[in-house]
Amino acid sequence: MKQIRGGVTAPKGFTASGIHVGIRKNREKKDLALIWSAKPCSAAAVYTTNIVIGQPLIVTKEHLADGMAQAIIVNSGNANTCTGEQGIAAARRMAALVAEKLPVSPKDVVVASTGVIGQQLDVSVIEAGMDALVAGLSKTGNIDAREAIMTTDTVKKEVTIQFEIDGAIITIGAMAKGSGMIHPNMATMLSFITTDCAISSAMLQKALDESVKRTYNRVSVDGDTSTNDMVVILANGEAGNKIISEDGPAYREFYDALNWLDTQLARMIAKDGEGATKLIECTVEGAADEDKAEQLAKGVICSSLVKTAFFGADANWGRILCALGYTRKDFDPNKVDVAFESASGYIDVCKNGAPLPFSEEKAKKILSYQEVTVYVGLNEGDAQATAWGCDLSYEYVRINGDYRT
């Protein structure tokens, strides 16, 4: 497997486009994206678990009920959520506008929105921009599309990989956005994945479900599960491999590649958390089972007090034990070990739930790096899990204190 360039347009048969139509006031910021496959695709998706869900998700769920899709239209600047019937009509209109310009049924168009909740979306500006959007579709359109879906993101999130299945070269490309309102137990933030692999909708959904659980759902920025999260994958089969329609070596190769790509995107989203200065990776090892390890790792990366301590590069490991404890998962606090690692080095700070003497200076240096790993050893079994979060900084407060105005 190798990493290449190209994002969602790298797989055969996909083009994309991104433009500014005026949903956002800032004319420098693109706010509408389109992904198009020349051929109909197997499609799979995972959505937010929030009870309040965005109007675009209601429409997209209907459209993907048959496991097929051919286009994705996404706007940023307005989430089109808590907008009632008027908002559902707006989401349907977005799909219809694509079908008016391209040879596709509205039922094969995925609709997504991200931005402020509780304001009606003005579809007339999207309608006015449709000719330019469709005219812009190209093999390098990934560059504009990945920018058009960003909100408070400071980094473009794109990963592209290539690998072989039975001699056929398969490409998977993806773009994601996500920086705030991000929390485990969701489906996920927005992530759009394309591939030319030939795979059935059912196996595509299975691979996506399995991977989302181990990647996006182990990320938290602020504990707020969005109303609009979704991951969508389209597979148009142009790579020419024998179609994957059951579990087996080909499915496993596809899953491993997809999971690797999703892991990279998950880490990018955590590292680019609103106001974040660093990525916090927490690996819980020696657990009796993976589920427990996952819940405990999430507990650590979600703790406001752990997050602020990392912002201050303060080796306050007591807060890590405190966070493990309030997950209420059953473990023996007197067997817990804690260590920190970064590019600067490694340090043990807690053994059997009690303090170890350590160099504050060395710990400070390790915690000052942009990517820091916390190792938690439970010493009760062989399972492990990793979760990704970020520190909590002044910037997070500034960004969110006046997001709307």
Please give the positions annotated as active site.
188
C-beta of 283: minimal distance to a second copy in Å?
Answer: 19
Which of 15, 17, 42, 83: binder of a second copy (CB under 8 A)? Answer: 83
Distance CA(140)–CA(73), nearest Å, equals: 17
The verdict on 378 binding a second copy (CB under 8 A) reads no
- Pick from 305, 348, 368, 373 the residue near a second copy by CB under 8 A: 305
If 0-12 CB within 10 Å is exposed, 13-18 middle and 19+ buried, where does residue 230 land? buried
328 contributes a contact to a second copy by CB under 8 A: yes
Q: DSSP labels for 284-311?
A: EEEESSHHHHHHHHHHHHH-HHHHHHHH
Q: CA 391 → CA 8, 56, 147, 155, 338, distances in Å?
A: 30, 31, 24, 16, 18
The three-state secondary structure class of 67 is coil
222 vs 285, beta carbon nearer a second copy: 222
In sequence order, the β-bridge partners of residue 295 are none
Tokens of 340: 């920190």
User: Which one of residues 143, 309, 347, 367 is an interface residue with a second copy (CB under 8 A)?
Assistant: 309
Determine the 3-state secondary structure of 98 from DSSP.
Answer: helix
With binding defined as CB under 8 A, does residue 75 bind a second copy? no
Among 302, 367, 378, 385, binds a second copy (CB under 8 A): 302
Task: Choose between 255 and 375: whose C-beta lies nearer to a second copy.
Answer: 375
Please say which residue, 81 or 241, places its beta carbon nearer to a second copy.
81
HSE on the CB side for 91, CA within 13 Å?
30
* Residues 6+ positions from 60 with CB-CB distance below 8 Å: 45, 47, 91, 110, 111, 112, 230, 232
Told to check if 295 binds a second copy by CB under 8 A, we report no
Given the rule CB under 8 A, which of 16-24, 122-130, 353-361, 375-383 is the region that contacts a second copy? 353-361
Give the pairing type, strands 337-342 and 383-390: unpaired
Among 82, 125, 288, 383, binds a second copy (CB under 8 A): 82
Q: Which of 327, 344, 368, 373 binds a second copy (CB under 8 A)?
A: 327
Helix axes 201-214, 249-271, angle to 10 degrees: 40
Residues in region 184-203 near a second copy by CB under 8 A: 185-186
Q: How far is the CB of 335 from a second copy (least distance, A)?
A: 12
Q: What is the C-alpha to C-alpha distance for residues 37 and 60, in angstroms, rounded to an integer?
A: 17
Cα gap 68→350, rounded to integer Å: 52
What is the closest distance, in whole angstroms, from the C-beta atom of residue 271 to a second copy in the complex? 18
Query: Of the listed pieces 147-155, 158-166, 216-224, 367-375, which binds a second copy according to CB under 8 A?
Result: 216-224
E-strand spans in 64-207?
Answer: 68-78, 109-116, 157-165, 168-177, 190-195
Judged by CB under 8 A, the stretch of 35-43, 69-77, 233-241, 326-334 that binds a second copy is 326-334
- Residue tagged 């309608």 (tokens): 127
Residue type, 6: G
Subset of residues 55 to 74 that bind a second copy, contact rule: CB under 8 A: none
Number of residues in contact with a second copy under rule CB under 8 A = 73
Residue with tokens 């060395």: 362
| Interface with a second copy, residue 248, by CB under 8 A | no
Alpha carbons 330 and 317: distance in angstroms, whole number: 20
By the rule CB under 8 A, 368 interacts with a second copy: no
- Taking the least distance from each CB to a second copy, the nearer of 167 and 401 is 401
User: Is the CB of 36 or the CB of 317 nearer to a second copy?
Assistant: 317
Interaction between residue 112 and a second copy (CB under 8 A): no
Q: Minimum distance between the CB of residue 179 and a second copy, rounded to whole angstroms?
A: 12
Nearest distance in Å: CB 300, a second copy: 11
Q: Which stretch binds a second copy (CB under 8 A): 11-19, 34-42, 82-90, 198-206?
A: 82-90
Under the binding rule (CB under 8 A), the answer on residue 394 touching a second copy is yes
